[in-house]
Structure 1
Amino acid sequence: MDDQAHGACNRLEPVFDLLGKRWTGLVLGALMEGPARFSELARTIDGVSERMLTERLNELGDVGLVERHVLPGPPVGVEYRLTERGKALEPALDALAAWAEDHLAEDR
């Protein structure tokens, strides 16, 4: 493998370490539609457990892609929203979705 290919792999590794985890892309995709409460996300993302959704939201928060916002009450509520850093992923996620539609639709 040449140095250029090796460099590309090194740049992509942290991206796929984060975004390649199950449910992460779906959480980000759901939040691209706008802020959502935990229960809304759980309903939107078919098959994700509450434990896994909590884990993914925490991971995305830790890297600055998602923020937790407490809504004043009563009753007090919490919603999750993308940060500017998270919103910056939209073109990449849109491109991946378009690629999947063109190249994976027959496989599903």
Structure 2
Amino acid sequence: MESAMPSKFPMPGNPVRGSKSGKPIMALFDLLGRSWALGVIWQLSNSTLTFREIQQRCEKVSPTVLNKRLKELTSSGLVERGDTGYQLTTTGSELFDLLQPFGAWSNSWAENLPVTDTTK
């Protein structure tokens, strides 16, 4: 029997941050905007990692936050736990392929930002 309790992670069709209707794109942005969600996806893009390896690569994120994020990403179908650790699912890999160009774009953006005087 399914529980009537609301989902603990953003789901399309349910209200999420920024969208009462829960449009799929808003649910995705809500999920990816949670602390360490993108970091976990980024770290898993190249290899399967254990919990401890993810924690170390994510600047020692707290075990509580990492556990919660892995549960959310797993429940969302982006991450799965295999025999040797956590890995991206096919859907998670497709998402990473879409996100990867943002890395190069962000470097260009950072280089072209106007210089501001931070001593004031």
TM-score normalised by L of structure 2: 0.68
Does 1:97 pair with 2:103?
yes
Does 1:33 pair with 2:46?
yes
Number of the residue aligned with 1:56: 69
Q: Distance in 2 between matches of 1:54 and 1:28?
A: 14
Of 74, 80, 103, 1:67 maps to: 80
Match of 1:85, SS state, is: helix
Larger Rg: 2
Match of 2:82, SS state, is: strand
Q: Distance in 1 between matches of 2:111 and 2:24?
A: 28
CA deviation digits over 1:59-107, x for unaligned, max 9? 0000111011235xxxxxxx10111010101222212212211113577
User: Which ranges of 4 or more aligned residues in structure 1 deviate by more than 2 Å?
Assistant: 104-107
Between 1 and 2, higher relative CO (CA 8 Å, sep ≥ 6) is seen in 1
Q: As a proportion of its length, which structure holds more strand?
A: 1
Match of 1:36, SS state, is: coil
Identity across the alignment (%): 33
- 2:89 corresponds to which letter in structure 1? T
